[in-house]
């Protein structure tokens, strides 16, 4: 590759080649108040030599991998850097730290009308984190050594709590002395309630509770995917019921298209499994694998798919051969549903001329078990869906269902998988209803909106310390910043109960100990390195299913 000194740009980087703006040379780094230089460290020097050599020599590279333990996860390196320094910061003689996780209730600005309130959340995903990262012997001599070296370079100082980790290694054989209590997985709980608590079980390991905050707070993701997916299920249930009189096929109405749009393979596994709490249609294979490995189901697989075309399998035939591509593909899959993306050139022409005329005979021969599913993939979603339905409705004989809505013949359906999020979904089904189209005609696919366009703030997920024991005395603690009352946290030891009227309530300051409030809905799931309670995916689905009362509310 030739060097590309950009003629239209200054040939000089801002502060000269020797000290480029970027942190290209670790020894030119100006860390705010820098103490020691990285280059002085023996390990840094050694690493550099090794790495240079590694570029030409695979066996050295393998050696390096072994040296750094590449494959193995190290809980000592799976936290925010600053937590490495926290054991020095708690009050002297602290013997317990107790923290909890909630999806905070947000007092919303009444002038801002948010279409979806998300007033309840689906609790899901803790079991994955416990199984994958926290259970068993997670601390070893090698991991302590690795962490010690990494943090010495990272902080340019010895701040790592080697003694504390050695204590866990020796006293607990590397198992984590913490207890986690949580609501059952799949539970649907109103915002603002405790969902799980974490506490240290050994007075020496008070600092461990919040060490695991970073990894545990990532549960915001499966909770948020499952919750958002469930809200979409409510919308689909409402309109499907209203336009067809039944909920048949509901579990296949929202197909997961999100694999490519998430940020990693692991995220795909977690997010897709969270969608499957509510639905059964997915193309994100990783989600099924995660469920099989970390939850288990009585069915061999918890999610299904159908053969489907993509643009490459259509455009590879050439622009003049779209009809040949369509014909070939439907013939390849005669006895099962097959979805065909039809917008490579002109979705309306494809529906009218190719499907509606050229290949009409072939389609009419298909059965209700093996429909052609036409997939538009561009344009305004609602307009496109309506126009496609209108064209197909003219070419194929419509029937009216018991609720008086139009239904295409059972051998042809539509799937909209572009631009679908919870808001557009609502708009499309509402628009279809207005135009007297039954929701039976359509299924949806959602990718980015289902698995990626979500953040921890959507449900205000937070993990906060609420109780500590210092000098043998328990203290209820909380934060309450003047500038944002929404950020106030709960106080003391917490428990979750149901009132006689069935509402959920979180009791603070250890009040739940009193018998009058009934049993605590938080169950111990993890204690001293062991998982003591697990849920099958069937239980998760059952806990998360739409309740009769919710359906009644939707149809009001």
Residues 123, 102: Cα–Cα separation, whole Å: 10
Q: Which residues are 122's β-sheet partners?
A: 188
Rule CB under 8 A: is residue 305 a binding residue for another protein?
yes
CB atoms within 10 A of CB 113: 7
Q: How far apart are alpha carbons 294 and 296 in whole angstroms? A: 6
Task: State which of positions 339-368 bind another protein (CB under 8 A).
Answer: 339, 343-348
- How many residues in the chain? 556
* Dmax (CA) of the chain: 84
The smaller minimum CB distance to another protein, of residues 246 and 455, is found at: 455
Nearer to another protein, 55 or 114 (CB): 55
The position carrying tokens 């089904």 is 429
What secondary structure does DSSP assign to 41-70, as a single string? Answer: SHHHHHHHHHHHHHTT-HHHHHHHHHHHTT
| Binding positions for another protein, 253-292, rule CB under 8 A | 257, 259-271, 282-286, 288-289
Q: Which of 18, 33, 111, 434 binds another protein (CB under 8 A)?
A: 33
Binding mask 307-336 for another protein (x = CB under 8 A): xxxxxxxxxxxxx-x--xx--xx--xx-xx
Please state the closest distance from residue 410 (CB atom) to another protein, in A.
18
- Residue matched to tokens 């993509």: 310
529 to each of 149, 178, 208, 282, 428, how far by Cα in Å?
25, 7, 12, 34, 48
Q: Which of 116, 169, 301, 386 binds another protein (CB under 8 A)?
A: 301
Question: What's the chain's Rg over C-alpha atoms?
Answer: 28
Q: How far apart are CA 233 and CA 211, in angstroms?
A: 36
In the complex, minimum distance from the CB of residue 518 to another protein, in angstroms, rounded to a whole number: 30
Interface residue with another protein among 384, 424, 446, 495 (CB under 8 A) is 384
Asked if 106 touches another protein (CB under 8 A), the answer is no
Which of 60, 105, 116, 153 touches another protein by CB under 8 A? 153
Q: How far is the CB of 514 from another protein (least distance, A)?
A: 24
Among 351, 392, 477, 525, binds another protein (CB under 8 A): 477
Nearest distance in Å: CB 4, another protein: 5
C-alpha 498/C-alpha 522 separation (Å) is 11
Cβ nearer to another protein, comparing 186 with 222: 222
Q: How do strand 461-470 and strand 473-476 relate by DSSP bridges?
A: antiparallel
* Separation of alpha carbons 509 and 499, rounded Å: 18
- Using the contact rule CB under 8 A, the part of the chain among 74-82, 115-123, 406-414, 431-439 near another protein is 74-82
Q: Which is nearer to another protein, 36 or 171 (CB)?
A: 36
Q: Rounded to whole angstroms, how far apart are CA atoms 480 and 351? A: 59
Q: Are 310 and 344 in contact (CB under 8 A)?
A: no
What is the x/- site pattern for another protein, positions 404-443, by CB under 8 A?
----------------------------------------
Judged by beta carbon, residue 201 or residue 462, the one nearer another protein is 462
Angstrom distance (rounded) from CA 549 to CA 112: 28
Residue number, 94 or 244, with CB nearest to another protein: 94
Q: Is 24 helix (H, G, I), strand (E, B) or coil?
A: coil
Contact by Cβ (8 Å): 130, 532: no
**Which CB, 20 or 410, lies closer to another protein?**
20
Contact in structure between 225 and 534 (CB atoms under 8 Å): no
Residues 171-210 that bind another protein (CB under 8 A): 210
- Running DSSP on this structure, what letter comes out for residue 121? E
Note whether 378 binds another protein by CB under 8 A: yes
The C-alpha atoms of residue 258 and residue 537 are separated, in whole angstroms, by: 21
* Residue 77 vs 116, nearer CB to another protein: 77
Among 109, 361, 434, 483, binds another protein (CB under 8 A): 483
User: Residue 244 or 305: which CB sits closer to another protein?
Assistant: 305
Of the candidates 84, 71, 57, 245, which has an alpha carbon nearest to the alpha carbon of residue 160? 84
The CB density around residue 346, as the number of other CB atoms within 10 Å, is 13
Pick from 65, 119, 357, 400 the residue near another protein by CB under 8 A.
Answer: 65
> Is residue 86 involved in binding another protein (CB under 8 A)?
yes
Q: How many CB atoms lie within 10 A of CB 144?
A: 21
Q: Which of 109, 158, 484, 515 binds another protein (CB under 8 A)?
A: 484
Q: Does 123 bind another protein (CB under 8 A)?
A: no
SS3 79: coil
Q: Of residues 18, 42, 59, 71, which one binds another protein by CB under 8 A? A: 71
Nearer to another protein (CB atom), residue 134 or residue 521: 134
Please report whether residue 57 would count as binding another protein according to CB under 8 A.
no
**Region binding another protein by CB under 8 A among candidate stretches 354-362, 392-400, 424-432, 457-465:** 457-465
Structure tokens at 237: 């249930």
Instruction: Work out which of 37, 60, 63, 68 binds another protein, going by CB under 8 A.
Output: 68
- Identify any residues that bridge with 441 across adjacent strands, giving them in sequence order: none
Which contiguous run of DSSP H or E holds residue 416?
A: strand 412-416
Determine if 78 is a binding residue for another protein (CB under 8 A).
Answer: yes
- Report the nearest approach of another protein to the CB of residue 364 (Å): 22
Contact window for another protein (CB under 8 A) among 169-177, 218-226, 511-519, 545-553 = 218-226
Select the span of 170-178, 425-433, 445-453, 543-551 touching another protein (CB under 8 A).
Answer: 445-453
Q: CA 388, 390, 395, 399 torsion: positive or negative?
A: positive
How many chain residues bind another protein (CB under 8 A)?
Answer: 158
With respect to another protein, which residue has the nearer C-beta, 194 or 237?
Answer: 194
- Compute the distance between CA of residue 178 and CA of residue 182 in angstroms, rounded to an integer: 13
């Amino acid at each position: 590759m030739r060097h590309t000194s950009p003629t239209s740009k200054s040939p000089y980087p801002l502060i000269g080649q020797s000290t480029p703006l970027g942190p290209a040379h670790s020894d030119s780094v100006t860390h705010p108040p820098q103490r020691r230089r990285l280059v002085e460290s023996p390990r840094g020097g050694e690493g550099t030599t090794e790495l240079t050599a590694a570029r030409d020599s695979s066996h050295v590279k393998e050696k390096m991998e072994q040296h750094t333990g590449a494959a193995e996860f190290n809980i000592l390196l799976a936290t925010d850097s600053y937590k490495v320094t926290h054991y020095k910061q708690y009050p002297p003689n602290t013997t317990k730290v107790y923290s909890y996780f909630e999806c905070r209730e947000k007092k919303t600005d009444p002038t801002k009308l948010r279409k979806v309130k998300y007033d309840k959340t689906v609790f899901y995903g803790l079991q994955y984190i416990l199984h994958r990262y926290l259970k068993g012997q997670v601390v070893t001599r090698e991991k302590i050594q690795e962490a010690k070296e990494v943090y010495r370079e990272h902080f340019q100082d010895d701040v790592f709590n080697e003694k504390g980790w050695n204590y866990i290694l020796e006293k607990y054989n590397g198992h984590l002395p913490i207890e986690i209590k949580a609501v059952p997985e799949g539970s649907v709980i109103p915002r603002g309630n405790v969902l799980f608590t974490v506490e240290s079980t050994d007075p020496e390991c008070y600092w461990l509770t919040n060490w695991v905050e970073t990894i545990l707070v990532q549960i915001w993701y499966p909770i948020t995917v499952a919750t958002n997916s469930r809200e979409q299920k409510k919308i689909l249930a409402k309109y499907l019921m209203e336009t067809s009189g039944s909920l048949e096929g509901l579990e296949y109405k929202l197909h997961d298209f999100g694999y490519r749009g998430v940020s990693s393979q692991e995220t795909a596994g977690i997010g897709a499994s969270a969608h499957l709490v509510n639905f059964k249609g997915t193309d994100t294979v990783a989600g099924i694998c995660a469920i099989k490995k970390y939850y288990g189901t009585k069915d061999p697989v918890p999610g299904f798919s159908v053969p489907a075309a993509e643009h490459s399998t259509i455009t590879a035939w050439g622009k003049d051969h779209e009809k040949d591509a369509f014909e070939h593909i439907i013939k390849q899959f005669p006895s099962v549903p097959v979805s065909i993306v039809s917008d490579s050139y002109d979705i309306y022409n494809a529906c009218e001329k190719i499907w509606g005329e050229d290949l009409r005979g072939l389609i009419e021969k298909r059965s209700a078990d093996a429909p052609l599913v036409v997939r538009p993939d561009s344009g305004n979603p609602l307009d496109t869906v309506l126009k496609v339905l209108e064209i197909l409705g003219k070419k194929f004989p419509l029937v009216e269902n018991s609720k008086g809505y139009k239904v295409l013949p059972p051998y042809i359906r539509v799937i909209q998988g572009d631009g679908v999020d919870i808001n557009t979904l609502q708009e499309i089904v509402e628009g279809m209803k207005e135009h007297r189209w039954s929701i039976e005609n359509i299924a949806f696919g959602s990718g980015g909106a289902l698995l990626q366009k979500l953040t921890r703030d959507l449900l205000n997920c937070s993990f906060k310390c609420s109780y500590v024991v210092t000098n043998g005395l328990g203290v209820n603690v909380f934060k309450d910043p003047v500038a944002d009352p929404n950020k106030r946290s709960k106080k003391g030891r917490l428990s979750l109960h149901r009132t006689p009227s069935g509402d959920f309530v979180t009791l603070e300051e250890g009040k739940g100990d009193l018998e009058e409030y009934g049993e605590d809905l938080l169950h111990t799931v993890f204690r001293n390195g062991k998982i003591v309670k697990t849920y099958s995916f069937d239980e998760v689905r059952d806990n998360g299913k739409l309740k009769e009362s919710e359906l009644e509310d939707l149809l009001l």
